[in-house]
Amino acid sequence: MVKRLAIIISILALSVFLAACSGNSSELDTTSPGAFIGGMSGIEVSFEPMSIMEDGYYTIYDTEDFPLEFIVTNEGEHTVAAGEVRLELLGPAQEDFSNIPSWEKSNSETIEEISEFNPSGDEEVISFTPNDYATYNAVIVGYQDLTWYVDYEFDYKTYLIVNDVCFKGDSSDERVCTVSEGRTYSVSGAPITVTSVEQDSGGKGIMLLKIGISNVDTGESTIVGEEFDDRFSQVSYTLEDSLSWECKSGGREGEARMVDGTAEIICQLADALDEDALYTKSIALTLDYTYRDIVSETLRVKESAE
C-alpha cells in the first residue's frame, strides 16, 4: 500500500497540473475519484445458508444437523492479514449444541482489498462446524426460533490523499495557489471516511489543514489494541510529509473521538515556511482503527414426528 500511495500521489500531481493548464472555469469537485475506487464499507460478514427456507426462515427438524458458516468479504481498500478479522458467535446457549468446537474464530488467510480487477472484493469462508455439522439438543415442543448473532471486528485503515496543498510563505502573494479554500482530495473505501478537507492560515508561513472524518457504516470503531467505548468511536491517525506537522483533534494528538459519528482533525506546520516559499504538493494521511459490527440470522427448529 505504501508503494501504491506514492504512485497515486504522482498521478494526482500530474492531474492537478493538467487541470490547471486546461483553463476550465467550472466549479471544482473537492473529491478526486481517480485515486481510489472509494465506498463506505470495509469487512462485511454474512451467513451461509443453514438449511432450506420456509416462511422466510432457515428451517430444520430437531433430528437434523446444520452448518454454521460465514462469508467474510473485503469490500474496502485495505488488505487485511490473517487473524485481523475476528468473529464471535452469540445468542443461543452454548450447552444446547454439539459439534461447535469453538465459538470464536478468525480469518486464516489474507483477504485482499477491492481493485479494478476484483471490484467485488476478496473473501474467505469461516466455518464454526469444520468437522461435523451442529445439532440442537434441547427439547422442542412445536417449534422454536433461534436467533444467531455474529459479533465481528477487524483491523482496518483509511487512506487520504490531499493533492493540491498550498505552501506559501507570503499569503499576500496571489501567484500559484490560494491558501484559504477547500482542497481536492481522494479517500479509500472504508467504514470511516473523510468528508471534507479545507486549508487555512495559522499565521505567517503556517499552513493549516482541517480534515473532517465520519463513521459512515453501521458499526463502531476504536484505536487498535484498546477497548470499545459506548460513548464514542475513535481512531488514530498519521500524516505523511517531509515537513513537520502538529495534528490534533479535540486537543488530543494522534487520535480522534467521533461524537455522533463525526470529528475534525486539525494539522498545522510546526515551523513557519520561508517567506519566499511558493509551491503546491500532495499530502497523505492514514486513519487506523479496529471496527466492530454485528449481524444476525434466525434458525427455526421444528419438533419431529419421532
Query: Is residue 4 assigned to a domain?
Result: no
CATH number at residue 95: 2.60.40.10
H or E segment to which residue 74 belongs: strand 69-74
Residue with cell 487512506: 159
Q: Which residues are within 8 A (CB) of 257 and not within 5 positions of it... i.e. 6 or more apart?
A: 232, 233, 234, 249, 250, 263
Residues 103-136 pLDDT 10s: 999 999 999 999 999 999 999 999 999 999 999 9
Return the pLDDT at 121.
Answer: 92
Note whether 146 and 183 are same-domain residues: no
Return the pLDDT at 195.
Answer: 98
Q: Which residues are within 8 A (CB) of 1 and not within 5 positions of it... i.e. 6 or more apart?
A: 78, 79, 157, 159
Query: Is residue 223 assigned to a domain?
Result: yes
Note whether 140 and 176 are same-domain residues: no
Residues 266-294 pLDDT 10s: 999 999 999 999 999 999 999 999 999 99
| Positive/negative CA dihedral, 101, 60, 65, 93 | positive
Note whether 162 and 287 are same-domain residues: yes
Measure the CA–CA gap between 165 and 223, rounded to whole angstroms: 28
Q: Which amino acid is at 66?
A: F
Contact between 113 and 79 (Cβ < 8 Å) = yes
Note whether 117 and 191 are same-domain residues: no
Note whether 31 and 169 are same-domain residues: yes
Return the pLDDT at 281.
Answer: 95
Residue 18 clears pLDDT 50, i.e. is over it: no
Note whether 180 and 229 are same-domain residues: yes
Half-sphere exposure of 215 (CA within 13 A, CB side): 24
Length of the chain: 306
Q: Is the pTM higher than 0.85?
A: yes
Q: Which residues are within 8 A (CB) of 110 and not within 5 positions of it... i.e. 6 or more apart?
A: 79, 80, 81, 82, 122
42-74 exposure pattern, b = at least 16 Cβ within 10 A, e = fewer: bbbbebeebbeeeeebbbbbbeeebbbbbebbb
Note whether 135 and 164 are same-domain residues: no
Residues 169-218 pLDDT 10s: 998 899 999 999 999 999 999 999 999 999 999 999 999 999 999 999 99
Domain, as residue range, for 111: 43-155+294-302
Domains contained in the chain, number:
2
Note whether 117 and 185 are same-domain residues: no
Note whether 173 and 280 are same-domain residues: yes
Query: Is residue 9 assigned to a domain?
Result: no
Note whether 171 and 283 are same-domain residues: yes
Angle at Cα 201 formed by Cα 245 and Cα 36, nearest 5°? 60
Note whether 32 and 171 are same-domain residues: yes
